[in-house]
Structure 1
């Protein structure tokens, strides 16, 4: 049989396989944006022919014959994203590798194989695509808690709860948006209660195949005393082995991070202020001023779940600024002492002046008395 006749024979078998399927059927789950392999095996032989199609529509994905890839009829959707394990084809491996998986890639793929020694064989691979919830973001904005996550597939569901459980009805708004890549972004806002310091708010986002959870809690504010403050991350303070940790200032500025291997990194701007980070994530700060008043957020994560603690740091005029008060008191004491000294010297000078005047008067009187005596004696002498 000539090569041309073999090609015609293979094509006829392929067309027939579109309608008459033989072989097994398997399912493969692929992650969005990753590499995915669709398995397909056959009995080795000569004149190997491999065709991959996506149904419905018989979309051409990848072809191989004459000992090389044949991609002239490949659909534009798969350009530059498919390949076979060329070094393993002779061993009966017709598996297809697809890179940069998209949502549009889901569907049923047909693997058609044949050789000179083996009749055509077709197997189906059902491919599902998923983009799991990677991270849940939670933050406070005024009297709202915002919970959000992006790039999810299939469409996610979001729910709220509290610890301890609360009987109140949650006032929340949830929106789901579909992106150009057919992924889903979800966002929900929950109105805080008047007793938010006593509750932990839990946001759970799940799809058909996975689930992630994040919690948010606000702890009582902490005072800056003598330029120092210590703020806790977990309650009670327990070692965070195997967790990742991030402390932020005003929800944006990174202070310190710790990874699962306990490797710590402090941002350059905060190196002079970070005194210690304990095993439980408790943060001790030093050399603080009024500029460091604000919101401090601790986020602890493990296996996709996270716990967020928010603490406000403020100065106490009675304690934190005691050095200012002491300075004012010392200044007032010095001023009072100077004023007292001036008054004392003036009074003393006034007394000395009066005493000198009295003494001068007495001296004048004495001099006059002596002059009168001299005149009287002189008069007596003249009369005699």
Structure 2
């Protein structure tokens, strides 16, 4: 309340002498005052006018939150309102990291009225230009001169001239005294020296590269020295998920973002229709809950004009033999990679991985992975194979995740059908075996019966034609026994006759 009261007095006094003026320190911060009568549905717009008298958006607020999609790039990450004071009628703007180029007349539009404030920036200019680069990528630090003969170029750290970044003279690079931390990471545009271009390209930016660099250029006729501020933005990103067979939830986020408030996240569906957009480092796609769909999130870093894309594709299978395929781009660079893994019950089980030099397959899946480097498939068809198989392809500016969701766990009805099928197959097999046994048995009996009849007939014929032996003859002359004799004797009745 004290601050609001002083601001109101300041504005009243300023109306007497025209546009109020505030003075800020170079590289410091300043509060540009603006007050209004507190009301509902507050709309706040801070703007300036460029040389063409066109309105440039500095900061906007409405519908209860900051709206920075139209904010001018120069102000990204450097402006903020006192959000807890808006309900008290305070629409003042805080501007950080003041630059000489920030000097202008700032207009505050709120509650159908406009308030203007003139900003001036004082202080020693330590550098002539500032550039932004993204960590782990390349950046060009600008420096120009009037072309001439006998060009000498020295790139050093402004606060320590003995720390040599890059040197050029006598028509070639001279790197024998180059600081170790810059070895192999610097180069000049040699073909552009005749055009007065002494810019330095710095590769694979590291956090420690953020500094003020001195560019000294001398020719036979003149020399000059520029100081350039290099800012290194950290922009790490990822896409994550929580997935089961009922609901899919995706999250896209950037971590270690520097400076803050420089990231926007956009979500798109399979038809490239924008789902929604967030002006923060983390965003969830709450509507991404449908199977067999594709989604994409795009992260944009405003200062380094960098974008990163995360793509997600899901295919679900309930039963049957499924081929899970993973491809590796043959034109990918050394930092690209692809890996296939199973995610089940909150754990990850590696299946295969590949980079530009090798393909590695887990021992568990070695006999089941078919294919070669660049494209391989894993075939799945058992209940133990159920889970989410993730094919994750990464490059420096994107990640593509293709999910094959397998659910081979049989239902009760499926189990009953499989049981009936097994019984049917078993019974058919038993009947077949029985029929084959009968066929073999009767075939065997028929074959042996035919052989037996022919043999008996031949034996009879042989016995009938063979001459009798002496023993046989003698046996034929053996006298009959009493019973035999009595059979030939006359009956008693005949004797009486």
Using the size of structure 2 for normalisation, the TM-score is 0.38
Q: Which has more radius of gyration?
A: 2
Q: Which structure has more RCO (C-alpha within 8 Å, separation ≥ 6)?
A: 1
Using the size of structure 1 for normalisation, the TM-score is 0.47
